[in-house]
Amino acid sequence: MEVIICPDYDTLSRKAAAVVADLVREKPRAVLGFATGSSPVGLYRELIRLHTEEGLDFSGVTTFNLDEYCGLPGDHPQSYRYFMNENLFNHINVPMERTHVPSGTEEDWRACCAEYEQRIVEAGGIDLQILGIGSDGHIAFNEPGSSLGSRTRRVYLTKQTIEDNSRFFDRAEDVPTSAISMGVGSILEARTCVVVVNGANKAEALAAAVEGPVTSMITSSALQWHPDTRGFCDEEAAAKLTMREYYDWIAAQREGDN
């Protein structure tokens, strides 16, 4: 994984968004994978700015989101469909019919998950997947212990994830206990992964993902197997990286090459 350490959240958001924007310019019909949560919000703000101020065109793009809470309809304020509409889709020119978020309300969730995977295949696969990392090192809702070969499925959330996400709900008991999520194996099929990580509370998780062993207990560590993953983090999230000097040296060499 390439690690790009930025001085602050705004800088990492801009740099990560630039990777997305470059792809969309080079491949107007790109397939983008999106994530929810607080980490990618700055990236989405920058994509909106690039669209409104610089004409970045999303009209040919297709999108797939990582996950959705079970039991929440798309118009629920805490659903991930609602989140994406409010934080990105309603502010750019992507056709809404080409934006895909797993359904959390289908009774036959197995068929729904299989169909979601098939839609990704039919779209040509995901060119670039945006990811965040949970405080326990998970990606999407692939909680500790998830198979590193897992596919889109229903998952039950850990107590830690429920506690972490309770800040978005009126009460902790309102947080759904399960979700539909792309699996680790599904995520690793994206051609490029862009990971955004910020804050001191993510420092241990980032260090484990980048420098620790590949293990199902830290599902983000599977990104070490991916041939093109770029991790953008701020100084606080980088605090526990033991190879910090080397990452900075690589960044300096890349700037020199450019």
Q: Which of 46, 68, 127, 136 is catalytic?
A: 136
Q: Which of 46, 68, 127, 143 is catalytic?
A: 143
CB-CB contact of 129 with 190 (8 Å): yes
Q: Which amino acid is at 145?
A: G
Question: What is the rounded CA–CA span in Å between residue 227 and residue 2?
Answer: 10
Task: For residue 226, give Cα distances in angstroms to 14, 44, 244.
Answer: 23, 24, 21
Question: What is the rounded CA–CA span in Å between residue 206 and residue 210?
Answer: 6
Q: Is 143 a catalytic residue?
A: yes
Reduce the DSSP state of residue 232 to 3 states and report it.
strand
Q: Is 91 a catalytic residue?
A: no
Q: Is 164 a catalytic residue?
A: no
CB-CB contact of 252 with 23 (8 Å): no
Which residue is associated with the tokens 């980032």?
A: 206
Q: Is 67 a catalytic residue?
A: yes
Q: Which of 67, 68, 127, 234 is catalytic?
A: 67
Residue 9 tokens, joined: 């959240």
Taking each helix axis from N to C end, the angle separating 9-26 and 41-54, rounded to the nearest 10 degrees, works out to 50
Question: What is the rounded CA–CA span in Å between residue 17 and residue 22?
Answer: 9
Q: Give the catalytic positions in this structure.
A: 67, 136, 138, 143
